[in-house]
Structure 1
Amino acid sequence: MKNELPVVTLRHIIVDGQKAIGMQFYPNKVIHALVKTLKPRWSNPDHMVFLLNSETNLNSIFRTFRGVAYVNAKYFFRNKPVRKGAEPTDLGELRSKCGPGGCPAAYLDLLETKRYSLHTARSYVHLFWSFRQYYADRELIDLGDPEIRRYLHMIVMSGKSFSYQNQVINAIKFYYEQVLNMPQRFYEIDRPRPEIKLPEVLSQDEVKRMIVATENLKHKAILVTMYSCGLRLSELLDLKLTDVQSDRAIVAVKGGKGRRDRNTLLSPTTLQLLRKYFKAYKPAEYLFEGAQGGRYAAKSVQQIVGKALYKAGIRRHASPHTLRHSFATHLLEQGTDLRYIQSLLGHSSPKTTEIYTHVSTKHIGQIKSPIDKLQLDI
């Protein structure tokens, strides 16, 4: 059994500007003797022995330890597939970031090949370009853990959020681990602990006031659809007419976050409003289209939400995504099982959905504070 054998873990490292196969293991007499037969060299910065990265050396490692030790190569071979079913992405608008001292063309090529969304690709290219400018006088192949830690320290000290810091790490790792085919090379880079912030949620009365205050039929339909279906802004904008399936009482959300398809609710109230909207506006392809046709603008939806908040007399901050948070919280407060809410929202993990249990005030309001038992005359 492999888990009963000693383990030799393979790592990607760079030695004198060349790719190398690092080997990590707990030494015993047998393993040490076998390693010596490979005639490896020692890397002080990486604290491990290594062989130059070649097919011959890789095969020699597997042959040498066969039956004696388990060769753990999960950090060595690429395991991220192309996003199946995703639409092709044209990143031509980002090519200006390519060239000497900028983002390598191969970086954009692989983002296109793996069909990363335009939004993610823009973020990766911008962040990696900034990293490249920071080390403009260095060759990318020569940068390692210390340089990346130094760069991340600068990012942290500049006050960037935890989410931004993680995106920086992802953008850098994409180049070394995907473009250069060195998976898990930067295994010692610690990710920042995420901030645990409760989402902003509107009450049901506030949502109602926003909808009632919105007189424009199209704008009202947008607000109602976002809230009643629990949609992300991008998901709302991507909805096609065929995604509204009245016979099944569902809205089919295709290619949501993580490229996952799902079905969500189509309430009778929403369907009735959408039918009125369709008769008045007659969209051709997308459920919500701009004045000249085509996909509706995200900025326009943000303005619709902002105007509705103002007209409803709600003076705290809220965004289109707040309607999605409100949808989930209100479902929870009316007794809907978390597993169903997770499915409707398209969350890959129940832990993501569980945050709404901290937002809901229904049960909190039913709890009596111990101070009420003191019968104070105040």
Structure 2
Amino acid sequence: MHPNILIDLGGGSAMTLLRKKMIGDMQLHHFSQSTQKSYEMSVFKLAKYYCISPDKISEDQLKDYILYLINERSLKWSSINTITAGLRFFYRKTLGREDLALSIPLRKNPSPLPEIFSPDELVSLFSCVRNVKQRVMLMTAYAGGLRISELIKLKVSDIDGKRMMIRIENGKGAKDRYTILSSRLLEELRSYWKIYRPGYWLFTNKKTKRHITKTVPRRAFDQAKGRAGIKKKVTFHSLRHSFATHMLEAGVDIRTIQVLMGHSSIGSTAVYLHIAKKNLGSAKSPLDLLYVPDQ
């Protein structure tokens, strides 16, 4: 159930007014549509859990709800952090209840290193797609280091064959940027265009004439991964991780990769230093520097 559906949770019109105020507050903070929906849903589900308006919920009830998410729902840390971020925003910005916002604990996310495709695995993945459109979708995501949300909203005009650049409009954080256009990808895109003749959107839904949804490339990826027999715990987003890692291994400086990836902080890009074979493979163990006689 979506919070856009007006439902009486004990707050009546007060709930509707709070929702409108929260949406206005999020718009003033320039939150993306996906963040707005996520935060709104966090508050909606809290209110639904207690069947009362969220401005009537106590500090103890807030803590009990978070414990319910941890112990009974067994949600991942990342999911809980998203929910609590929405709740903190609501109580701090919309209600002005700093006391309640501070009562919502911060949880530190574990930071596992992402899985990366080897070149051979990428060749197998691209070879196991069902058609040209799916192949070009996956190749574009890898070749430009794109997020899935950026891929599906590419326009034909975003492909700049003269400058060999791809324009990403309104990416994460509502930022525009350019990334590189590979000559091989340009060839693939031209072949794709001759077959599908896309209009405004590069990847179009035939029925709606709008851009495709995230489900389309995600499903194409999962099916190709299965047919390729790839057992690693990789997802569609691993194409982006692999782009950054392979660029680093090829000798591209980390600052350039940060710009191409659209990272606000160099720290987000620095994680690939921990993965790149160029950096790890060239390092020697201190044991190798010791002379230890054989027994």
TM-score (ref. length: structure 1) = 0.68
> Quick one: distance in 2 between partners of 1:303 and 1:188?
40
CA 1:163–1:178 in structure 2 vs 1: closer, same or farther (change >3 Å)?
Answer: same
For the pair 1:99 / 2:13, whether they are aligned, the reply is no
331-340 or 161-170: which moved more?
A: 161-170
1:263-288 Cα shifts (integer Å, max 9, x gaps): 11111111111111111101111111
Residue 143 (structure 1) aligns with: 57
Where in structure 2 are the equivalents of 1:228-243 lying within 5 Å? 228-243=143-158
Contact kept? 1:102, 1:132, Cα under 8 Å: no
Residue 256 (structure 1) aligns with: 171
Where in structure 2 are the equivalents of 1:309-348 lying within 5 Å? 309-348=225-264
> Quick one: distance in 2 between partners of 1:264 and 1:204?
20
Task: Indicate the SS of the match to 2:178.
Answer: strand
- Which of the numbers 118, 141, 144 marks the counterpart of 1:203? 118
Task: Indicate the SS of the match to 2:166.
Answer: strand
For the pair 1:358 / 2:274, whether they are aligned, the reply is yes
CA 1:210–1:179 in structure 2 vs 1: closer, same or farther (change >3 Å)?
Answer: same
Once the 2 structures are TM-superposed, how far is the Cα of residue 261 of structure 1 from its aligned partner? 1.1
349-358 or 152-161: which moved more?
A: 152-161
Matched letter for residue 295 of structure 1: H
User: Rg: which structure is higher?
Assistant: 1
CA 1:350–1:314 in structure 2 vs 1: closer, same or farther (change >3 Å)?
Answer: same
Matched letter for residue 141 of structure 2: M
Once the 2 structures are TM-superposed, how far is the Cα of residue 107 of structure 1 from its aligned partner? 4.5
Residue 20 (structure 1) aligns with: none
CA 1:337–1:98 in structure 2 vs 1: closer, same or farther (change >3 Å)?
Answer: farther
- Which of the numbers 75, 92, 97 marks the counterpart of 1:177? 92
Contact kept? 1:111, 1:121, Cα under 8 Å: no
Task: Indicate the SS of the match to 1:258.
Answer: helix
Contact kept? 2:22, 2:94, Cα under 8 Å: no
Residue 227 (structure 1) aligns with: 142
- Which of the numbers 47, 71, 74 marks the counterpart of 1:157? 71
Once the 2 structures are TM-superposed, how far is the Cα of residue 142 of structure 1 from its aligned partner? 4.2
CA RMSD of aligned residues (A): 2.7
> Quick one: distance in 2 between partners of 1:219 and 1:180?
46
| Greater strand fraction, Structure 1 or Structure 2 | 1
CA 1:273–1:182 in structure 2 vs 1: closer, same or farther (change >3 Å)?
Answer: same
Matched letter for residue 67 of structure 2: H
Task: Indicate the SS of the match to 1:355.
Answer: helix
* Structure 1 residues without counterparts, runs of 5 or longer: 1-91
Once the 2 structures are TM-superposed, how far is the Cα of residue 116 of structure 1 from its aligned partner? 4.4
Matched letter for residue 121 of structure 2: E
Contact kept? 1:125, 1:171, Cα under 8 Å: yes
Once the 2 structures are TM-superposed, how far is the Cα of residue 258 of structure 1 from its aligned partner? 1.2
CA 1:105–1:319 in structure 2 vs 1: closer, same or farther (change >3 Å)?
Answer: same
* Structure 2 residues without counterparts, runs of 5 or longer: none
CA 1:374–1:124 in structure 2 vs 1: closer, same or farther (change >3 Å)?
Answer: same
1:40-66 Cα shifts (integer Å, max 9, x gaps): xxxxxxxxxxxxxxxxxxxxxxxxxxx
1:163-213 Cα shifts (integer Å, max 9, x gaps): 122222222223223333556862353300111111121112211222233
Matched letter for residue 304 of structure 1: A
- Which of the numbers 187, 200, 214 marks the counterpart of 1:272? 187
> Quick one: distance in 1 between partners of 2:6 and 2:266?
38
> Quick one: distance in 1 between partners of 2:5 and 2:11?
9
TM-score (ref. length: structure 2) = 0.85
> Quick one: distance in 1 between partners of 2:84 and 2:63?
10
CA 1:370–1:93 in structure 2 vs 1: closer, same or farther (change >3 Å)?
Answer: closer
Contact kept? 2:32, 2:174, Cα under 8 Å: no
Once the 2 structures are TM-superposed, how far is the Cα of residue 371 of structure 1 from its aligned partner? 5.4
Aligned length: 285
